[in-house]
A and B are shown apart, each in its own frame.
Chain A
C-alpha cells in the first residue's frame, strides 16, 4: 500500500515543519496529489491518522486534519502547443496526433500548506 509510505513522508515533513517554526498546534495540512499517483483518499487518511497519533509523533500534530486535493492531469503537446486531458489514458495529442507530449500537471505529490499556531 503506497499510501502508507506517502503518509510516513508527510508526517516526517510535518514534524520537521513543527520544529522549524515552533508550532504548538497544527490544525490542517493541505496535500495535493496528482491523479496519476492513484492515491486512495480513505487509505491515505487512515494511514495519516494512525501515524500522527503515534507515540514519537509531536503532540502538536495529534489533531491535525488532512485536506487532500486531487489534481487532474494536464498534458501539453510539444509540437502544436495545445493542452489536453488524457481521456482514457491516451497521451497522444488529440489535435495533431503527435506523441511528443508532456504531463504538466497531475503527476506530483506536494504538501501545499500547513495551518497552525505558535506560542
Chain B
C-alpha cells in the first residue's frame, strides 16, 4: 500500500520552535540568531556590541559551541547571563536545545536574547529556532562568493554584517560582485560593513539592532 504523507521533514523542529515563540511572547522577549562560518567574527562582534547594547536593553546570551565553552568564557566579563550549549559535534543548534537553554536564563528580567550559532553557513539556515531574526555575518577574507554559494542563509537573514573590512586592501574581495549578488538574492537585505579590529561600522550595527529590538518588543 502507498501512504501519502506530505509531511514537512522539519515538522518536529518547527513545532518546538513554536513553543519557543510562545515563551518569548510571554516574556516580551526578542531573540536574535547570529550565523556565520567559523571565524567570521561572531564572538568578536558580540564583544563589541554587548557593552553598549547592554546599557539600553537587558541581554541574555546563548552560546553555541561544538565542543568547548571558550566563546562563553570570552563573554563572561560583561556580567550578563550566559548559557553555553554544547552541540556535541552537531553543526547547528535546533529548537529543542534552545527551549532547554531558555530554562536556564532569567527570562523575567530580560529584553533580548542573542544566540551565537555554531560556525556553519548551511545547517543553521535551515533550522527555525523561534527567533525574530537570523543575522548573517560574512567576512572579507572568506571571499565575495559566499552569497552565491550559500543562498539559503542570505535569503533567510534579516540583516547582513560584512565584517573584517579592515582587510579589504590585503585580500581579493570584489565589493561590486558581493553587492550585486546580494541585491539579486535578497533585494531588501540591509548590509552593514564592520571591522571589529578598528571598530569601524560597529555603531551602525548597534543602531540597527537597537531599532530592531525596539520595534519587535513594541509589537508583542
Tell whether, in the assembled complex, residue B91 and residue A21 are in contact, meaning their CB atoms are under 8 Å apart. no
Tell whether, in the assembled complex, residue B8 and residue A114 are in contact, meaning their CB atoms are under 8 Å apart. no
Give the most central of B92, B148, B181, B184: most A CB within 10 Å: B184
Q: Which of A2, A88, A117 contacts B184 (CB 8 A)?
A: A88
Tell whether, in the assembled complex, residue B9 and residue A89 are in contact, meaning their CB atoms are under 8 Å apart. no
Tell whether, in the assembled complex, residue B4 and residue A112 are in contact, meaning their CB atoms are under 8 Å apart. yes
User: How many Å lie between the Cα of A61 and that of B90 in the bound state?
Assistant: 25
Q: Which residues of B contact A91 (CB under 8 A)?
A: 155, 184-187
Q: Which residues of A contact B181 (CB under 8 A)?
A: 89
Whether a CB of chain B sits under 8 angstroms from the CB of A31 is: yes
3-42 of chain A: CB within 8 A of chain B: 5-6, 9-10, 12-13, 17, 21, 31, 36-38
Q: Which residues of A contact B5 (CB under 8 A)?
A: 13, 17, 111-114
Tell whether, in the assembled complex, residue B188 and residue A99 are in contact, meaning their CB atoms are under 8 Å apart. yes
Query: Do A10 and B9 form a contact, CB below 8 Å, given A89-B151, A90-B184, A91-B187?
Result: yes
Whether a CB of chain A sits under 8 angstroms from the CB of B219 is: no
Instruction: Report how many residues on chain B are interfacial, defined by Cβ distance under 8 Å.
Output: 32
Query: Do A21 and B3 form a contact, CB below 8 Å, given A2-B123, A36-B152, A90-B184?
Result: yes
Whether a CB of chain B sits under 8 angstroms from the CB of A116 is: yes
- A residues engaging B (CB < 8 A)? 1-2, 5-6, 9-10, 12-13, 17, 21, 31, 36-38, 88-92, 99, 103, 108-118
**Which of chain A's residues has its CB closest to B147's CB?**
A89
Give the most central of A9, A36, A103: most B CB within 10 Å: A9
User: How many Å lie between the Cα of A10 and that of B5 in the bound state?
Assistant: 12
Shortest distance from the beta carbon of B145 to any chain A beta carbon, whole Å: 11
Whether a CB of chain A sits under 8 angstroms from the CB of B171 is: no
Tell whether, in the assembled complex, residue B6 and residue A112 are in contact, meaning their CB atoms are under 8 Å apart. yes
Pairs A-B, 3 closest by C-beta atoms:
A99-B187, A90-B184, A109-B9
Shortest distance from the beta carbon of B149 to any chain A beta carbon, whole Å: 9
Known A2-B123, A13-B9; 20 more pairs at CB < 8 Å? A5-B91, A9-B13, A10-B9, A13-B11, A17-B3, A21-B3, A36-B152, A38-B150, A88-B184, A89-B148, A89-B185, A92-B183, A99-B187, A109-B8, A110-B6, A112-B4, A113-B3, A113-B6, A114-B3, A115-B3
